[in-house]
Structure 1
Amino acid sequence: MKLTILLTEDDAVSSTIGVVLMVAVTVILAAAVGTFALGLAETSAEETPSASFEVEWGLDGGDTVVDVTMQGGNGVEAKFVTVELEGSEVWNDADEDAAGRLTHYDGKEWTADKIQSGDTLGLKEDGTSLNEGDTIPVIWNNGQKSQVHGSATLSN
């Protein structure tokens, strides 16, 4: 009689199968999360370019002008570079109207996809928008990392 009960009772088997399935699901989820995390780690490891920009001030016909010249280092993708004036964007590759208060002069523009050593961007004020003490930084930002590659403050 006890042998019949032993053969028909299978509660322990279903508990064991449940535990094995839970462990398998946990291992698969851990592998998926690990792969995702490692994939993100590779993307964020993209190096910031080693580039140096010089920002110079001057006068052109009574208007203040700014020349931003890449002095050296790695070529920089123009789509990641912005030039700002006191926190407001005055140049980026995607927006022709970003200059706002500044315009290009003497054909000095960054028109290529990649800014190389010796390339110069010339910006000229529209009226009296540039003042002593204004700062113009050149910023590289790929959406994950950001770095200032050059800056200058207007002084007499």
Structure 2
Amino acid sequence: MNIKNLFGDEGAVSPVIGVILMVAITVILAAVIGTFVLGLGDQVQSSAPNANFQFSYDSSAESFTITHNGGQDVEASNVEVQVNGDDAQAWADGSGSSGTISTGSSTAFGYNGNSTGVPSAFSSGSGSDVLVIWSAPNGGSSNTIGSSTIPN
């Protein structure tokens, strides 16, 4: 047995492996570029922030305050407050800021139509659900990131 002939035909292996690697790289690049060209890249990256909110109620003033109590910062322009499922107002419509909602940021609204001391009020009242709703900047999806119920 001639050992030289046994290992002498390895020249064709290297070009085959090279072609396979080039095809794989081309497919991966095409998939990544296609994802962003079709606009799917923004939807993949738009997930609801992980934020905690504290709700406090003042029954004598018929108002409530929502305070960002920790977690990720949230853009105020992407957040609305909804009472009783149909009455919605932007976070900044309350006494809150229109910039970034960070830990310690708060906004206040009235309820039962009372806007004394607050810039805006909801028509619903006691027993109504209060939701903090985040909407994706590109309009793709929305999630409830905080909830409470106005006490009786």
Q: Distance in 2 between matches of 1:139 and 1:37?
A: 31
Runs of 4+ that moved beyond 4 A: 33-37
2:104 to 112, 118, 124: 118
1:85 positional shift: 0.9
* Partners of 2:48 and 2:145 within 8 A in 1: no
Letter in 2 for 1:73: G
Calculate percent identity across the aligned residue pairs: 24
Aligned residue for 1:48, secondary structure, equals coil
* Offset of residue 36 of structure 1: 6.8
Pairwise CA RMSD of aligned residues? 2.8
When the two structures are superposed, what TM-score results if normalisation uses the length of structure 1?
0.60
Bigger Cα Rg: 1
Distance in 1 (alpha carbons) for counterparts of 2:87 and 2:123: 13
Residues 118-137 of structure 1 aligned to structure 2 (within 5 Å): 118-125=104-111, 126-127=113-114, 129-137=123-131
Question: Any idea what the Cα deviations from partners look like across 1:73-126, whole Å, max 9, x if unmatched?
Answer: 1110111100001123442157x5xxxxxxx5xxxx221421111111111233
Any conservation in 2 of the 1:55–1:68 contact (CA below 8 Å)? Answer: yes
Q: Hey, what's the Cα distance between the residues in 2 that align with 1:132 and 1:148?
A: 20
Q: Partners of 2:108 and 2:123 in 1: how far apart?
A: 15
Task: Give the CA deviation at 1:146.
Answer: 1.6
Q: Does 1:38 align with 2:35?
A: yes
Unaligned runs of 5+ in 1: 1-32, 97-103
Alignment-derived partner of residue 152 in structure 1: 148
How far did 1:35 drift?
6.4
Q: Note the alpha carbon deviations across 1:6-54, whole angstroms, 9 max, x for none.
A: xxxxxxxxxxxxxxxxxxxxxxxxxxx9667411332111232111112
Aligned length: 112
What secondary structure, in the 3-state scheme, does the structure 2 residue paired with 1:148 have?
A: strand
Structure 2 residues not aligned, in runs of 5+: 1-29, 115-121
Normalised by the length of structure 2, the TM-score is 0.61
